[in-house]
Structure 1
Amino acid sequence: MFVARSIAADHRDLIHDVCYDFHGRRLATCSSDQSVKVWDKSETGEWMCTASWKTHSGSVWRVTWAHPEFGQVLASCSFDRTAAVWEEVVGESNDKKKGLCHWIKRTTLVDSRTSVTDVKFAPKHMGLILTTCSADGVVRIYEALDVMNISQWSMQQEISCKPSCSCISWNPSSSRAHAPMIAVGSDASSAAYSGRVHIYEYSEHTRKYTKAETLMTVTDPVRDLAFAPNLGRSFHLLAVATNDVRIFKLMPMRSEAMPSCSTTKLEVHILAQFDSHNSQVWRVTWNITSTLLASSGDDGCVRLWKANYMGNWKCTAILRGDGCPLNRACTQSAAPSTAVPYQHTLLPSSLAGRRNFS
């Protein structure tokens, strides 16, 4: 049983992104009205707006929370070609009695020459690291020089690629057996680019991210992608939102014969592919145990996908935009449970974000 709760967001334009904090009790929204709003869940389960402020001089595409270990920190990115880092400050100006929070801008990242289309914090075990991607086809990785003073950020790497970038996702695995990994999606419409999803892996030898794989079968513009939380698996799961929903299994194939400094080769299988939205899919997100995937699309519905004991992914629920479940059964269920090897499995090493939210 899924229960939906509506929030009167009061944004004056289209909402592009909604993001929960680590504990799921705070929520941030951003909009084309150039603002970000922060919502807190009350003891009665109601969501109350505790902060609202203008963040950029253009549409705000994405907003994301840092791990609470680093405090109450948000990052946002915008059409105005910048990304910004915000921190909640508790002090005299923070009037809790009136339900107001005081957020201040710690830094503005101005390296992009075009719209910054996505922004993500790295998993907390890597430290306070922030990644952006832009329509100019560049992914930028920044690190806070001092986590106690997040006004200073240093660019660690700038990765260029030809197609425009639309979205990024960090692999959350903290296993020492898995090197840090980033997936990058492109919404380039040109047929000249044969792959819309690129996987980058960190090399201890070069201390840089290099391309490990390109998902060549993803040929339509990608609006979102998400690595699943990894609770001890030897492989990775990646969900991709394009004109349909796809779930990929990425199996590291490092052998003893390969030098330790080389990039891990990935054997890629497609576990599921659904076109039930019958429209552009804008968002995909996993639950904490990676057993449930949610997707939203231009059909105005959120669809929930779950694998059964045989590994077949099926639709378990459909929620309309007003939060009500559809009475009709899901029209499409599984994709092949026996993983079919990806057509372009072992391709060595380069990189590739835009928005809408239904």
Structure 2
Amino acid sequence: LQVWDQDEHENWHLTANWKAHSGSVWKVTWAHPEFGQVLATCSFDRTAAVWEEIVGEGSGPGERGMRHWIRRTNLVDSRTSVTDIKFAPKSLGLLLATCSADGVVRIYEAPDVMNLSQWTLQHEVSCKLPSSCLSWNPSFSRLHHPMLAVGSDDPNTANGGKVFIYEFSENSRRWSKTETLVGVTEAVHDIAFAPNLGRSYHLLAIATSNVRIITLKPLQDSTLQSGLTRFDVQMVAQFEEHHSTVWRVCWNITGTILASSGDDGFVRLWKGK
């Protein structure tokens, strides 16, 4: 794992470089800076880890001292490769979600944000299929339940939809699957909810053999029927310009521009009209 810092002249410098896992590191993610300089990683070695930067005292007045990263905890609940890891929106507290090739999403909480060595496993959610990626819905609206999207890279198209939407119920204190996107049957490599700045619906980007953008519009309670979907799901865009596998999708901070990268060697930007 490597960390780079930008100086006042906009030059980037390698400030930390260490062996984080005994297998390939699949993903790395930052916690909100409100919680300090905190990273989380997940690996083929079946573990996830939380790292915190420690800054020593400088040799002179006002000087920044040497920095190094300390592993605060090692999360070892998975029996298979941990394929993705994401911190929750800060409004939910210091929560961390992982997904694994065994098809289980695990949600951990640090009850004391000043003690990052203590994490508790709060929830385990079985997705039935190998899980490759996940995304928290960053919506701040109190009208929206905490929400996770999970993607699967299972190659078997006979297994149907490869994207699942989970919501957390405050009443039952449980996560439950509220949607399977049946139109996505190819292996999913990345998934990302767009930041929600006042939209009444959710926007989800999916990386498969192409780029897809999905809207999920919550249905009014009066239109819901037992056992039926909670969302009106529409695919509003599909882009084939990569002509190859798409590996990553990422929104800008306002949720108006989507970046994607693929095996064609390009990063492409998409904007709604």
TM-score by length of 2: 0.95
Residue of structure 2 aligned with 1:121, choices 87, 109, 112: 87
Aligned to 2:77: 111
The 2-side partners of 1:197 and 1:37 are apart by: 31
Aligned to 2:268: 303
Aligned to 2:205: 239
The 2-side partners of 1:219 and 1:46 are apart by: 43
1:53–1:99 distance in 2 versus 1, CA, 3 Å: farther
The 1-side partners of 2:186 and 2:168 are apart by: 27
Which one is further off, 98-107 or 180-189?
98-107
Question: For the Cα contact (< 8 Å) 2:41–2:48, is it kept in 1?
Answer: yes
Unaligned runs of 5+ in 1: 1-35, 309-358
The 1-side partners of 2:68 and 2:210 are apart by: 40
Question: For the Cα contact (< 8 Å) 2:146–2:167, is it kept in 1?
Answer: yes
The 2-side partners of 1:233 and 1:132 are apart by: 27
**Cα shift at 1:93:** 9.2
The 1-side partners of 2:64 and 2:32 are apart by: 26
Residue of structure 2 aligned with 1:151, choices 117, 126, 130: 117
**Cα shift at 1:160:** 1.0
Aligned to 1:250: 216
1:257–1:197 distance in 2 versus 1, CA, 3 Å: closer
The 1-side partners of 2:67 and 2:147 are apart by: 35
1:257–1:287 distance in 2 versus 1, CA, 3 Å: closer
Residue of structure 2 aligned with 1:200, choices 166, 169, 174: 166
Q: Which of 1 and 2 has higher RCO (CA within 8 Å, sep 6+)?
A: 1
Give the fraction of aligned pairs with identical amino acids, expressed as a percent: 65
The 2-side partners of 1:127 and 1:264 are apart by: 29
**Cα shift at 1:132:** 0.2
Aligned to 1:28: none
* Pair 1:178 & 2:144 matched: yes
Aligned to 1:141: 107
Per-residue CA distance 1:52-84 (angstroms, 9 max, x = gap): 111000000000000011111000000000000
1:103–1:263 distance in 2 versus 1, CA, 3 Å: farther
Structure 2 counterpart SS, 1:85 = strand
**Cα shift at 1:90:** 2.0
Residue of structure 1 aligned with 2:5, choices 16, 36, 40: 40
Per-residue CA distance 1:317-342 (angstroms, 9 max, x = gap): xxxxxxxxxxxxxxxxxxxxxxxxxx
What is the 5 A alignment of 1:220-235? 220-235=186-201
Question: For the Cα contact (< 8 Å) 1:94–1:100, is it kept in 2?
Answer: no
Partner amino acid for 2:257? L
Structure 2 counterpart SS, 1:101 = strand
Partner amino acid for 2:52? E
* Pair 1:89 & 2:54 matched: yes
**Cα shift at 1:44:** 1.2
Question: For the Cα contact (< 8 Å) 1:166–1:224, is it kept in 2?
Answer: yes
Question: For the Cα contact (< 8 Å) 2:57–2:64, is it kept in 1?
Answer: no
TM-score by length of 1: 0.73
Structure 2 counterpart SS, 1:295 = strand
Aligned to 1:333: none
**Cα shift at 1:97:** 6.4
What count of residue pairs does the alignment treat as equivalent?
Answer: 271
Aligned to 1:26: none
Structure 1 counterpart SS, 2:91 = helix
Aligned to 1:52: 17
Unaligned runs of 5+ in 2: none
Residue of structure 1 aligned with 2:239, choices 266, 271, 274: 274
